[in-house]
């Protein structure tokens, strides 16, 4: 039966037998934070299995060929009673560490395996926008992503690699520009990736790289043109009004002349 003193007892016991361990080497394991992860024991039978975290042999789970067979000392852990494999249920970046597995077989022969576990944050989908450095002859696209682990940001034109940038500092924002022509019919891709996953943003020609519209007139020129049009309209109106007034005067004079008025000749 397990008691609350099991970990302390096993720490002392492990210190005694440590010199006789058969070390099987260290395996690097990478996983995405939030996804379950299982560390396999690689055995089907055992007398005792101890899972430890860090360099101080702090026991987090153990199995015996007794009843109850297995027990964990940390939340979010499960251990298979048949094989002794350890599963992380609730994973986070804080669980990135060195893990040691000690297996004692039926003949009390001990062997040791080590796992260097690294949990990566999920990668974001990169964001692409048109740079202010774009012109009417050339489109400049800027791809950006906020990352927390060593990450690479790359541009592709179709299947052709264009450029990339690598960031090893955590909690960083990375950006990478690319230049393209408006007549280019190829699809562009911005890819952010690390050693275990990637995210891609596909970009067609018509999404952000659109040809420049006809250059608009300066507002000052527009105001001047409106003023000139207004003046021209007033001049045309005045001339039309004067022409109509002259015609009206001549018609009145002709009417008085025809009716025996005292007015002079219409042409006078």
Q: What is the pLDDT of residue 182?
A: 66
SS3 172: strand
Residue 8 — very low, low, confident or very high, per pLDDT cuts 50/70/90? Answer: very low
* pLDDT at 214 exceeding the cut of 60: no
Decide if 1 is inside a domain: no
Tens of pLDDT, residue by residue over 101-115, are 999 988 888 889 999
Whether 204 and 112 share a structural domain: no
Per-residue DSSP letter, 94 = G
pTM above 0.85, yes or no: no
Tens of pLDDT, residue by residue over 186-204, are 788 999 998 889 999 988 7
Whether 193 and 222 share a structural domain: no
Whether 65 and 148 share a structural domain: no
Whether 89 and 179 share a structural domain: no
How many domains does the chain fold into?
A: 3
Whether 90 and 193 share a structural domain: no
Residue 211 — very low, low, confident or very high, per pLDDT cuts 50/70/90? Answer: low
Whether 27 and 78 share a structural domain: yes
Which residues are within 8 A (CB) of 60 and not within 5 positions of it... i.e. 6 or more apart?
51, 52, 53, 72, 73, 74, 77, 86
Whether 34 and 64 share a structural domain: yes
SS3 78: strand
Last residue of a domain, one of 120, 136, 157: 120
Q: What is the pLDDT of residue 39?
A: 95
Tens of pLDDT, residue by residue over 10-45, are 443 444 344 444 455 789 999 999 999 999 998 888
Q: Is the distance from CB of 35 to CB of 197 less than 8 angstroms?
A: no
Look up the domain containing 90 and give its range. 6-120
Question: Among 134, 115, 120, which Cα is nearest to 53's?
Answer: 115
CATH number at residue 187: 2.60.40.10
């Amino acid at each position: 039966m397990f008691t609350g003193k099991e970990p302390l007892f096993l720490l002392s016991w492990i210190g005694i037998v440590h010199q006789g361990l058969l070390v099987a080497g260290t395996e690097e394991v990478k996983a995405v934070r939030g996804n379950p992860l299982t560390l396999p024991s690689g055995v089907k039978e055992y007398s005792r299995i101890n899972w430890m975290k860090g360099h101080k042999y702090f026991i987090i789970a153990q199995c015996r060929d007794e009843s109850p067979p297995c027990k964990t000392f940390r939340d979010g852990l499960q251990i298979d009673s048949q094989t002794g494999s350890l599963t992380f249920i609730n994973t986070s970046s804080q669980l990135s560490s060195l893990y040691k597995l000690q297996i004692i077989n039926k003949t009390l022969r001990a062997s040791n395996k080590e796992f260097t576990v690294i949990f990566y944050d999920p990668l974001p989908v990169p964001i692409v926008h048109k740079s202010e450095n774009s012109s009417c002859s050339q489109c400049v696209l800027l791809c950006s992503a906020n990352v927390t682990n060593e990450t690479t940001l790359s541009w592709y034109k179709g299947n052709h690699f264009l450029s990339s940038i690598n960031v090893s500092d955590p909690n960083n924002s990375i950006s990478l520009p690319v230049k393209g022509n408006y007549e280019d019919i190829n699809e562009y891709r911005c890819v952010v990736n690390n050693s275990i996953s990637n995210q891609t943003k596909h970009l067609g020609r018509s999404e952000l790289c659109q040809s420049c519209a006809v250059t608009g007139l300066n507002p000052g020129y527009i105001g001047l043109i409106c003023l000139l049009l207004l003046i021209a309209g007033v001049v045309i109106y005045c001339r039309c009004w004067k022409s109509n007034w002259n015609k009206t005067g001549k018609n009145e004079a002709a009417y008085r002349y025809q009716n025996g008025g005292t007015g002079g000749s219409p042409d006078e």
